[in-house]
Amino acid sequence: MRIQNSKVDIIFVQPMDMFSAVPYVKSLGHVSLLRENGYTVQLIDPAPHKLSLKEVVQIIIDSEAKLLVVSAFSSTLPFAYQLTNQVFDQCPELPIVLEGYHVNADPKILNHMQVQYGLRGDSEFALLHLCNALLRHQEFNEYTDGLVVKKKNELIANKHGVLQDVNTLPLPAYEFMAHGKYFSASTNKKLMYLFTTRGCPYDCNFCASAIQRNYRHLTEDNIIHLLKYLINDLKYEWLEFMDLTFTIHKKRIIELCNRIVEENICFEWGCETRVDLIDEEVLIAMKQAGCQKITFGVESGNEQVRYKTGKKITNQQFIDAFRLCKKYDIRTMANFIIGHPGETVEQVEESISFSKKIDPFNVFFTRMVPLPDVYIYSQAVRKGEIESDIWIQYMKGKIGHPVYYTSTIPQKKIEKLYKKALLSYYVSWSTFRKYLPLFNNPKYFFKVIIVFISFTFGKPKFK
């Protein structure tokens, strides 16, 4: 890792990913906007560089930064908690800002951390406002949307910041990322993530995106500019569009794909969408533009269970969509959740069987996670199935990663079903044969095996 010798104004620390090094790009908009406004910035990405907590703390101290921004998923709260505590002990005057999904959904977490500020929603300009106030002594409005401010006896949790025109931000600062050090089970090529939209109009009851459903997108020109930067300048070979529902606007996607072909931007890519938002016309355009993989949230192989989540899509629609993707040689990934409220053993078995029936390139099974500020969490707390401070306990190391266990299936049985689901799909000749072309890279092969064993037999790990 290249460590800057010069002192910096603001230092960012990326989430310490728990299962493999995946690129966290959400903070890159913050970094680029701050640089555009004259601030010097450094970004630390611990996972791909294999940095220990002690090493990260020392880099922060050596930088003599004037402000620290720590990003955290709910799953990476323990690392953020330990990091901020240690930095506060050694640099008590250094302002610390928590950014990422958890504070976005649950700003009260700041009451249990040595952190003075948080960011919510589209917070790029909120952070700029905070930096201007703290570092340039400009007027500070503690009630700015997108900010959380902790005082001695008060927590000011303002509304989520909303950036109506996402095209007002400068190009994300991808040059700060750990190039060539990230991993995906979908490819052995040099990969990177990007967003071309924000928000999602759908309302699944388990999903963290429900807190911000205001859908907005980059212009076609800005996307093309970003793609050329990532492919031609930074030499990435595979891009993952991390938009929550990539094909919401069919016309927009077809026009974008045609433009990619016209501009001769050559790369492979994946995306995530719903099966009721694809058809032959859009798949043909996507394939011609380099699409190699589409991820679909199946959630359950039982329609009744799936409908209760708010995703009213039939099994036949999934069967037809996966068959259509095969027709155009587009790999598919199917995401399933085990342990929906009220789900039975028989219904979980249906999910395992259905995963084989639709025959995706790969499958991701996960236990139900009660993310803060979503329906599953609030209902489980109301019914006494989980404690309201479950994420605080997890953050402080008192319990393992929070999992919602439905009362209709014993906890041990859910764990057995989870292992069965993964083993029955991946420990098979048909799955091995799908992956065989990717195993020409020994390093990739061993990484896949390590991640699979960790997911299947290790302690619960979540993205």
Residue 271: phi and psi, rounded to 5, are -155, 175
Averaged pLDDT for residues 446-450: 74
State pLDDT tens for residues 245-265. Answer: 999 999 999 999 999 999 999
State pLDDT tens for residues 294-323. Answer: 999 999 999 999 999 989 999 999 999 999
Q: Are residues 64 and 117 in the same domain?
A: yes
CATH number at residue 76: 3.40.50.280
Is 167 among the domain residues?
no
Residues of the chain by 3-state class (helix, strand, coil), percent to 5:
45, 15, 40
Task: Specify burial of residue 87 (Cβ count, 10 A radius: 0-12, 13-18, 19+).
Answer: buried
Q: Are residues 129 and 238 in the same domain?
A: no
Q: Higher confidence at residue 210 or residue 452?
A: 452
State pLDDT tens for residues 452-462. Answer: 777 677 665 55
CA distances from 193 to 166, 196, 242, 416 (A): 17, 10, 6, 33
Instruction: Kindly give the interhelix angle for 315-327 and 280-288, rounded to the nearest 10 degrees.
Output: 40
Is 411 among the domain residues?
yes
Q: Are residues 252 and 152 in the same domain?
A: no
Q: How confident is the model at residue 202 (pLDDT cuts 50, 70, 90)?
A: confident
Is 374 among the domain residues?
no
Domain that holds residue 50: 10-157
* Cα–Cα nearest to 451, from 420, 422, 411: 422
| CA atoms of 387 and 236, how far apart (whole Å) | 44
Is 322 among the domain residues?
yes
Report whether 192 contacts 237 (CB < 8 A). Answer: no
pLDDT score for 427 = 83
What's the domain count of the chain?
A: 2
Q: How confident is the model at residue 4 (pLDDT cuts 50, 70, 90)?
A: very low
Residue 99: phi and psi, rounded to 5, are -125, 155
Q: How confident is the model at residue 351 (pLDDT cuts 50, 70, 90)?
A: very high
| Token pair for 348 | 């979980």
DSSP-derived secondary structure for 346-406: HHHHHHHHHHHHH--SEEEEEE----TTSHHHHHHHHTTSS-TTHHHHHHTTSS-S-----
Q: Are residues 233 and 139 in the same domain?
A: no
Is residue 39 pLDDT above 90, yes or no? Answer: yes
State pLDDT tens for residues 67-125. Answer: 999 999 999 999 999 999 999 999 999 999 999 989 999 999 999 999 999 999 999 99
Is 123 among the domain residues?
yes
> Which of the listed residues 139, 157, 175 is the one where a domain comes to its end?
157
Q: pTM of this prediction?
A: 0.92
pLDDT score for 210 = 45
Count Cβ neighbours within 10 Å for each residue of 125-147 and write b for 16 or more, e otherwise.
Answer: bbbbbbbbebeeeeeeeeebbbb
State pLDDT tens for residues 323-336. Answer: 999 999 999 999 99
pLDDT score for 458 = 64
State the DSSP H helix or E strand holding residue 425, giving kind and residue range, or none if neither.
Answer: helix 411-426
Averaged pLDDT for residues 162-184: 92
Q: Are residues 47 and 192 in the same domain?
A: no
pLDDT score for 212 = 56
State pLDDT tens for residues 19-29. Answer: 667 899 999 99
Is 389 among the domain residues?
no
> Which of the listed residues 157, 172, 206 is the one where a domain comes to its end?
157
Is residue 451 pLDDT above 90, yes or no? Answer: no
Q: Are residues 246 and 330 in the same domain?
A: yes
| CA atoms of 367 and 352, how far apart (whole Å) | 13
Is 393 among the domain residues?
no
pLDDT score for 94 = 97
Is 175 among the domain residues?
no
Q: Are residues 145 and 197 in the same domain?
A: no
Q: Are residues 314 and 427 in the same domain?
A: yes
Give the side-chain half-sphere CA count within 13 A for 311. 30
**Mean pLDDT, the chain, integer:** 91
pLDDT score for 208 = 61
